C-alpha cells in the first residue's frame, strides 16, 4: 500500500471498522504519550490540578471550619473530617471540565482535523483524553489528601480511602464524557468553560460537599437528595471516616454507569461527524 493511500482521509467509521482491539489500545497509548508530552512542554496546564486542591482545602478549612464545625458538634477538626472526603467530588467535577476546554482548543488549533484524517480508531482520541485527565485527577486528589493530613485529617480506613479515590475516578470519568460532548459541540473553549461553571456551581454548593444539608431550605434539600455529588461525597465520607455507605455507593455507581452509557456514544458520534 502506498504512502499516498495511507495519508488519504478515511470516511467516517471506515478506520474503526478495520482496527481491532489491540490497534485501538496501541493508538490510545500513543495519543496518551502525545498528550503527556504536551503537558511537559506546557507545565502551566497543570496549575489547576496542583494549586486548586491546596487553595480550596485551606480556604474551606480555615474560613468555614470553625462555624460549620460547631454545627457538626465539634470544631475545626471535626469539619476537616467532614470536608476533605467531600472535596473528592469537587475535584472530579472541576478536573472533568478541563477535558472539554482542552478538547475544544484542539479543534480550534486544527489538531483534531489531522487526527480524523489518519487511519486510527476515532474513539482512541477521546479515550486518550480521558486517561490523561484521570491522571491529573489522581494527582489533584493526592495533593488534596496531603494538604488534608497537614491540616488535621485523620485517615482511619486506608482501604476505604483507596475505594473512595476509585469511586471518585469512576464518577469523574462519566462527567468527562459530558464535557467532551460540550467540547465538540460549542464554538469556543470560553463557552465550554462558562457552561461548565453554570452547571458546576449549583451542583457543588447545592450538595453535601461543604456543609450538611439539614439546615438548607426544604426545596434545596429535595435537590440535594437527587444530586449525584451528594451521593459521591457521602459515600466517600462513609468509606474514609466511617458511617453508612451502601445506599450512596450504589447511587453513585448507578449515576456513573448511566452517564457513561448515554454520553460516551454521543461524544464519539459527534467527534466523527463534526464538520
| Residue-wise pLDDT tens digits, 208-249 | 899 888 888 888 888 888 899 999 999 999 999 888 888 999
Residue 4: its pLDDT value, please? 37
Q: 61-77 burial string, b = 16+ CB within 10 Å, else e?
A: beeebeebbeeeeeebe
Residues contacting residue 176 through CB under 8 Å, at least 6 positions apart: 96, 99, 100, 129, 130, 133
- DSSP codes, 72-105: TTS-HHHHHHHHHHHHHHHHHHHHHHHHHHHHHH
Q: What is the pLDDT of residue 9?
A: 42
Please, which residues have CB within 8 angstroms of residue 247's CB and are 6 or more apart in sequence? none
The pLDDT value recorded for residue 16 is 54
> What pLDDT score was predicted for residue 1?
39
Segments in the chain below pLDDT 50: 1-13
Tell me what pLDDT residue 119 has.
67
Per domain, the residue ranges of the chain are 18-273
Chain segment 72-107, per-residue pLDDT in tens? 777 888 899 999 999 988 888 888 888 888 888 877
Q: Which triple of cell numbers denotes residue 62?
A: 480555615
**Cα 159 to Cα 26, 142, 189, 241, distances in angstroms:** 32, 15, 38, 11
Amino acid at each position: 500500500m502506498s504512502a499516498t493511500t495511507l495519508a488519504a482521509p478515511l470516511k467516517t467509521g471506515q478506520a474503526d471498522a478495520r482496527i481491532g482491539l489491540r490497534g485501538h489500545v496501541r493508538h490510545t497509548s500513543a495519543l496518551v504519550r502525545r498528550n503527556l508530552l504536551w503537558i511537559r512542554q506546557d507545565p502551566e496546564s497543570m496549575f489547576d490540578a496542583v494549586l486548586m486542591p491546596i487553595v480550596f482545602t485551606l480556604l474551606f478549612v480555615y474560613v468555614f471550619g470553625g462555624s460549620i464545625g460547631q454545627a457538626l458538634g465539634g470544631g475545626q477538626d471535626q469539619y476537616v473530617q467532614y470536608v476533605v472526603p467531600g472535596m473528592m467530588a469537587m475535584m472530579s467535577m472541576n478536573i472533568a471540565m478541563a477535558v472539554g476546554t482542552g478538547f475544544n482548543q484542539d479543534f480550534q488549533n486544527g489538531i483534531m482535523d489531522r487526527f480524523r484524517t489518519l487511519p486510527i480508531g476515532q474513539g482512541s482520541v477521546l479515550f486518550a483524553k480521558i486517561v490523561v485527565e484521570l491522571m491529573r485527577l489522581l494527582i489533584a486528589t493526592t495533593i488534596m489528601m496531603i494538604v488534608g493530613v497537614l491540616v488535621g485529617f485523620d485517615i482511619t480506613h486506608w482501604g476505604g480511602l483507596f475505594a473512595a479515590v476509585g469511586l471518585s475516578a469512576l464518577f469523574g470519568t462519566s462527567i468527562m464524557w459530558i464535557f467532551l460532548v460540550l467540547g465538540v459541540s460549542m464554538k469556543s473553549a470560553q463557552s465550554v468553560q462558562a457552561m461548565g461553571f453554570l452547571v458546576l456551581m449549583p451542583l457543588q454548593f447545592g450538595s453535601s460537599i461543604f456543609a450538611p444539608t439539614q439546615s438548607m431550605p426544604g426545596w434545596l434539600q429535595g435537590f440535594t437528595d437527587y444530586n449525584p455529588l451528594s451521593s459521591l461525597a457521602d459515600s466517600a465520607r462513609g468509606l474514609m471516616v466511617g458511617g453508612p455507605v451502601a445506599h450512596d455507593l450504589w447511587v453513585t455507581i448507578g449515576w456513573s454507569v448511566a452517564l457513561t452509557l448515554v454520553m460516551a456514544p454521543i461524544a464519539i458520534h459527534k467527534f466523527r461527524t463534526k464538520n
